[in-house]
Amino acid sequence: MNTTPLKKYILFTLTIILFAACDQDFNGIGTDIIGDDNFEITKIEPSVVAFNQNIGPVQSNNLPINALGIYNNTAFGETTANFATQVVLQTVNPTIDTALKPVIESVILYIPYFTDATKTTTSTDGDSTYTLDSIYGPKDAKIKLGVYESGYYMRDFDPATQDGQVYYSNQNGLFDNVKGQRLNNGEAAQNDEFVFSDAEYKEETKDSDGKVTSTVRTAPGMRLNLDINYFKSKILEAPSGKLATNDVFKNYFRGLYFKVEKSGTYSQLALINFSKGTITIKYKENKSLTETDEKDRVSKSIVLNLTGNSVNLFQNNYLPIYSDGIASPNSTIGDEKLFLKGGEGSMAVIDIFKDNELDLLRKSKYLINDASLTFTIDAAAMKNDNEPNRIYLYDLNNKRQLLDYSLDASIGKTSKLNKTVHGGIIEEVEKKGTRYKIRLTNHIRNLISNDTVTNVKLGLVVTENINDVSIKKLATPISINGVGIKQIPTSSVINPLGIVLFGNNIPRGDKDYEKRLKFEIYYTKPN
């Protein structure tokens, strides 16, 4: 790419960002130009074609965030998300002397949930009230949760290629068929009637007179009592050498497999950072071989971290309206509806300009003020379902972000809302999404000013985190008019949600014609 035009674009884009801080909507570009009749601001709507593309199974190992639960969407169907992870010793080769008669008091699995910090309040007595983030489905809906000993060993490397081992979203059977015993054996609320609760956990320590001496508060999270006898045998009575290193330990104790099933009419699904999770084994043992007084026994603990290799496993029961909608995409004239679905779902492929439109713009020497794609949400199809907060547009040919993404340094209210000028953030009216608007001004400038730049296909997906531009493999590569698709953005794999958008192929005169996908360019030309 020619670097001289790029420097000009960077300077011009910084100017655009400055103005955007005051006015995020460019529909009124040119209204502030006064006292000069030598220029004219004009809008055109070049051709755009958008069509659906089924993704199929995706690489889902070692994601930064994973889904767990069951989610029902009236436009797409039902998704069940299971999870498997390796477990490692926080401190390797712990000293465990069975002669001191260690007895486990508790084994607690704890994994914190995401909370909305702006809605967390703390009272004068120290108790906090939390609002959970990234929980989808009716509040207090129950699921049947089983936490099993994993019987499947997840390798670091593929022995055939010596590349990193890849696991896919449709490989649930690898883990389910060899799972060991169920380990969460507490009350019903911790297993067959599990709820992603927003309750803070408070643990008090009291002296012999019953007076509280200390209080430990824990933010909401998955907190489960695990089988004491299992961990007594597996950890405290482990054969010699099995706890010496984590490489050995990960093959000896192959981790946990989280399996969810329905426990009623409604269910929930949560996004969780499992790598923050721990298993804490608390036990007591005698001070020495000669001191065996029960009152003087020593308290000890062993902590296991839920880190190492992991994989998210999806099972989908899609509705016909969705399956049919992505079954026969029209890559020539586009589709009427676009179905974007995260996880093992679907995306949209977008072609801008047709025939000689781009050539005419290249010859015109016009100054491009703003260019954007506007996607209107099909509210009737989405009903009251959760809507993705953001969608992501990228260069499908080269599997990379657009120039507008790279040059946008704007900061949002949260990190997920950064790059606000580039956009793709849901716009709402009365808490209901109406549309997404994505600016690709610099991408269009680059196309028009440099006739050696290829007009690439664009990919559109839902995103969980706009800052994550990494990619994951598709189990089955796709070819679209000569363009090979072998990967998908990681942020789309993570997001469990879907959105139905109006496409470009809506006949003039149809009641939804004005809701069609719009490609708009504002430019300046001399009179």
pLDDT of residue 3: 45
The token pair that represents 222 in the structure block:
């998955």
Q: Region 276-292: what's the mean pLDDT?
A: 91
pLDDT of residue 20: 42
For residue 348, the SS3 value is: strand
pLDDT of residue 39: 66
Is the pLDDT at 22 greater than 80? The verdict is no
Q: What are phi and psi of 493, to 5 degrees?
A: -65, -35
Q: Region 481-498: what's the mean pLDDT?
A: 94
What is the C-alpha separation between 485 and 130, in angstroms, rounded? 42
What is the C-alpha separation between 504 and 493, in angstroms, rounded? 25
Q: Sorting pLDDT into bands at 50, 70 and 90, what band is 129?
A: confident
Q: Sorting pLDDT into bands at 50, 70 and 90, what band is 50?
A: very high
pLDDT of residue 526: 66
More confident residue, 78 or 202: 78
What is the C-alpha separation between 275 and 306, in angstroms, rounded? 5
Quote the mean pLDDT of the chain.
90
Give pLDDT tens digits for 426-472: 999 988 899 999 999 999 999 999 989 999 999 999 999 999 999 99
Q: Region 239-252: what's the mean pLDDT?
A: 97
Report which of 2, 313, 41 is spatially closest to residue 150, judged by C-alpha positions. Answer: 313
> What is the secondary structure of 166-213 as a DSSP string?
--BTT-HHHHHTT---B-B-S-GGGTTTB----PPEEEEEE-TTS-EE
What is the C-alpha separation between 54 and 347, in angstroms, rounded? 7
Is the pLDDT at 286 greater than 60? The verdict is yes
What is the C-alpha separation between 327 and 398, in angstroms, rounded? 25
What is the C-alpha separation between 354 and 455, in angstroms, rounded? 10
**8-17, 29-38, 84-93 — most confident range:** 84-93
Report which of 194, 136, 73, 17 is spatially closest to residue 464, judged by C-alpha positions. Answer: 136
What is the C-alpha separation between 259 and 273, in angstroms, rounded? 16
**21-30, 116-125, 231-240 — most confident range:** 231-240
Report which of 413, 418, 395 is spatially closest to residue 489, judged by C-alpha positions. Answer: 395
pLDDT of residue 30: 33
What is the C-alpha separation between 92 and 86, in angstroms, rounded? 15
pLDDT of residue 212: 78
pLDDT of residue 124: 76
**Alpha-carbon distance values, 439 to 330, 342, 411 (Å):** 25, 22, 16
Q: Which helix (H) or strand (E) holds 51?
A: strand 48-54
Contact 128, 217 (CB under 8 A): yes
What is the C-alpha separation between 367 and 40, in angstroms, rounded? 11
Is the pLDDT at 24 greater than 60? The verdict is no
Is the pLDDT at 338 greater than 90? The verdict is yes
Give pLDDT tens digits for 380-405: 999 989 999 999 999 999 999 999 99
Q: Which residues pair with 105 in a beta bridge?
A: none
**What ranges do the domains of the chain cover?**
3-22+43-58+331-526, 77-315
Rounding to the nearest 10 degrees, give the CA dihedral for residues 320, 141, 344, 473.
180
